């Protein structure tokens, strides 16, 4: 890895500190933010650049990159029946690669260097996950691939899910010998689509192998009703806790229809909530209780969701909607602030000495920042900036986009 010095930048440090600091020299060396001698560094004049931590896309479904814009007037269940109706569940390796390289290009142009891919193929297989992991690595993105699992049918679906034993056998094989190119975890589709035996089995495998678990939870009002029915009237979070699916290694996507007591349970166990505002808006699923979760101490992240329910992988856009969507139907006290939104969208990352060198650079000469006062910079970034204003994207100190051009060779032909 080569060293890069951004000289004289305006810096948003990140974490809980989004006050801009002008005239900062930021040295990236050996994949981290560094201090010390800079003689061997490539120097970039950053006097017109705004540097901040790169975005983290905490939830998507990569196969949907080849099936956008479908069922534009449908809610979730009807949309799923159309979205995956013509082979998106059983893509050959070449099509998986195509979908993921498209997603990589969009992710980078929107400022993301890391993604969690809740990867759906039916039946699940080690081979398809290996193809996905390889493609994400080829496109330069740091990926976490959670193989989607289910063993219960859906009334609107034409496929037959694998048996519980078959699903767990594939999951065990995958964690026993994970393919290179990505961090591999397990992704139960949603509690109402999985038997208790499958969910318990996933919990045991995750504990044995130290794997992360990623699943949908209470995305729609119907999902919440179905989950509570399956839980015997108990709340869904308590039910998942009893099955072993709670804790710092577990992530619940959406959580639109969780109650305050359920949010409190998530805090107690350190379970993560992933907010997907654009998909919730696109499918009419509702407005997640983001600010209530933040006020209680829930660990919150932002996802684009799949490119079929969004229909982009632009995390700059997702961050903007994460801040704005609650304003459509929540009290003023439940509106996330710009600082809270940026912390969620960047995974809480801070650009301090020793931290991973995941950095994005916006051009402060863009119209979005014209006349901006220092205390307006973070808000301008969220509300006014566009991907065209993004100049550089670096992962571990290496350029994924430089001067507006994608760097990974596999992405050279993508526009």
**Is 287 found in the same domain as 207?**
yes
Do 44 and 180 belong to one domain? no
Domain with residue 162: its CATH number is 3.20.20.140
Whether residues 270 and 390 share a domain: the answer is no
Burial class of 166 by CB neighbour count within 10 A (0 to 12, 13 to 18, 19+): middle
What distance, in Å, lies between the first and last C-alpha atoms of the chain?
27
Alpha helices in 110-178 (DSSP H): 126-138, 164-176
Confidence (pLDDT) at 34: 94
Q: Are 299 and 271 in contact (CB under 8 A)?
A: yes
| Confidence grade of residue 156 (pLDDT, cut at 50, 70, 90) | low
Whether 185 maps to a domain, the answer reads yes
DSSP 303-320: ----TTTSS---HHHHHH
Taking only the tens place, the pLDDT of each residue in 12-52 is 999 999 999 999 999 999 999 998 777 777 999 999 999 99
Which CATH number goes with the domain that contains 355? 2.30.40.10
Query: Has residue 1 got a pLDDT over 70?
Result: no
Non-local CB neighbours of 382 within 8 Å, separated by 6+ positions:
319, 320, 323, 338, 341, 342
Report d(CA 144, CA 60) in Å as an integer: 10
Structural domains counted in the chain:
2
The percent of residues in the chain predicted with pLDDT above 90, rounded, is 91
**Token pair recorded at residue 413:** 């032909």
Q: Is residue 171 in some structural domain?
A: yes
Phi, psi of 154 (to 5 degrees): -115, 140
Q: Where does a domain end: 329, 345, 361?
A: 345
- Whether residue 137 is predicted with pLDDT greater than 80 in this model: the reply is yes
Q: Is the dihedral of CA 284, 289, 290, 291 positive or negative?
A: positive
**What sign for the dihedral angle of Cα 323, 376, 342, 181?**
positive
414 falls within a domain: no
Which residue's structure tokens are 């009893």?
242
In a domain, 391, yes or no: yes
- 150 and 28, same domain (yes or no): no
212 and 180 both lie in a single domain: yes
Q: How big is the CA angle at 411 (ends 410 and 412), to the nearest 5 degrees?
A: 100
Whether 72 and 47 map to the same domain: the answer is no
Q: Does some domain include residue 288?
A: yes
Q: Could you tell me if residue 217 is inside a domain?
A: yes
Are 285 and 138 contained in the same domain?
Answer: yes
Helices of type H across 255-376: 260-269, 277-282, 290-296, 315-324, 338-345
Q: What is the average pLDDT score of the chain?
A: 95
- What's the rounded mean pLDDT across residues 340-368? 98
pLDDT at 200: 98
Q: What is the mean pLDDT of residues 198-223?
A: 98
The DSSP bridge pattern shows strands 42-45 and 112-119 to be unpaired
| Domain-ending residue, one of 314, 345, 376 | 345
Among 324, 345, 366, which residue terminates a domain?
A: 345
Q: Are residues 75 and 222 in the same domain?
A: yes
Decide if 153 contacts 140 (C-beta within 8 A). Answer: no
DSSP labels for 67-100? Answer: S-S-STT--HHHHHHHHTTTSTTS--HHHHHHHH
Say yes or no: 84 and 21 in one domain. no
Q: Are residues 335 and 353 in the same domain?
A: no
Q: For residues 395 and 403, what is the distance between their CA atoms, to the nearest angstrom? A: 15
State whether 213 and 280 are in the same domain. Answer: yes
In a domain, 410, yes or no: no
Look up the domain containing 85 and give its range.
Answer: 55-345
Sequential DSSP letters for 173-207: HHHHSPPTTSEEEEEE--GGGS-HHHHHHHHHHHH
The confidence score (pLDDT) of residue 234 equals 85
| SS3 call for 210 | coil
Q: Are residues 32 and 181 in the same domain?
A: no
Q: Is residue 155 pLDDT above 80, yes or no?
A: no
- Give the mean pLDDT of 279-297: 96
- 379 φ/ψ angles, rounded to the nearest 5 degrees: -70, -40
Cα–Cα distances (Å) from 151 to 159, 187, 197, in that order, read 11, 12, 10
Q: Taking residues 332-346, report their average pLDDT.
A: 95
Residue 271 burial (10 A CB sphere; 0-12, 13-18, 19+): buried
Is position 415 within any domain?
no
């Amino acid at each position: 890895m080569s060293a890069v010095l951004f000289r004289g930048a305006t810096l948003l440090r990140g974490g809980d500190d989004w006050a801009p600091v002008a005239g900062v020299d930021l040295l990236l060396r050996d994949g981290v933010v560094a201090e010390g001698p800079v003689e061997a560094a490539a120097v970039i004049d950053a006097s017109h650049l705004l540097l901040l931590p790169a975005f983290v896309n905490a939830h998507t479904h990569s196969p949907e990159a080849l099936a956008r814009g479908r069922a534009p007037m449908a809610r979730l269940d009807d949309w799923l029946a159309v979205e995956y109706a013509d082979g998106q569940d059983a893509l050959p390796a070449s099509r998986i690669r195509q979908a993921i390289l498209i997603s990589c290009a969009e992710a980078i142009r929107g400022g993301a260097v890391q993604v969690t891919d809740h990867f759906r193929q039916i039946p699940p297989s080690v081979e398809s996950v290996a193809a996905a992991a390889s493609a994400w690595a080829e496109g330069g993105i740091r990926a976490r691939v959670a193989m989607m699992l289910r063993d219960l049918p859906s009334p609107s679906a034409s496929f037959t899910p694998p048996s519980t034993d078959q699903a767990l056998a594939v999951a065990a094989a995958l964690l026993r010998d994970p393919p290179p190119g990505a961090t591999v975890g397990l992704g139960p589709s949603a509690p109402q689509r999985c038997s208790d035996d499958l969910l318990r089995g996933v919990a045991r495998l995750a504990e044995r192998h130290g794997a992360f678990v990623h699943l949908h939870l209470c995305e729609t009002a119907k999902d919440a009703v179905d989950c509570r029915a399956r839980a015997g009237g108990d709340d869904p979070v308590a039910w998942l806790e009893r099955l072993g699916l709670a804790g710092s290694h577990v992530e619940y996507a959406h959580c639109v229809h969780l109650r305050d007591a359920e949010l409190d349970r998530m805090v107690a166990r350190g379970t993560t909530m992933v907010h997907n505002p654009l998909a919730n808006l696109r499918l009419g699923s509702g407005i997640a209780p983001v600010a209530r979760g933040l006020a209680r101490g829930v660990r919150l992240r932002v996802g684009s969701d799949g490119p079929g329910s969004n229909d982009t992988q632009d995390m700059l856009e997702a961050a903007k909607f994460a801040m704005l969507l609650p304003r459509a139907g929540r009290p003023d006290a439940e509106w996330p602030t710009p600082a809270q939104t940026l912390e969620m969208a960047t995974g809480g990352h801070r650009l301090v000495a020793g931290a991973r060198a995941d950095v994005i650079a916006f051009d402060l000469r863009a119209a979005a920042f014209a006349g901006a006062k220092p205390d307006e910079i973070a808000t301008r970034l969220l509300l006014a900036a566009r991907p065209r204003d993004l100049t550089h994207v670096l992962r571990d100190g290496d350029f994924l986009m430089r001067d507006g051009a994608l760097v990974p060779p596999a992405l050279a032909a993508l526009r």
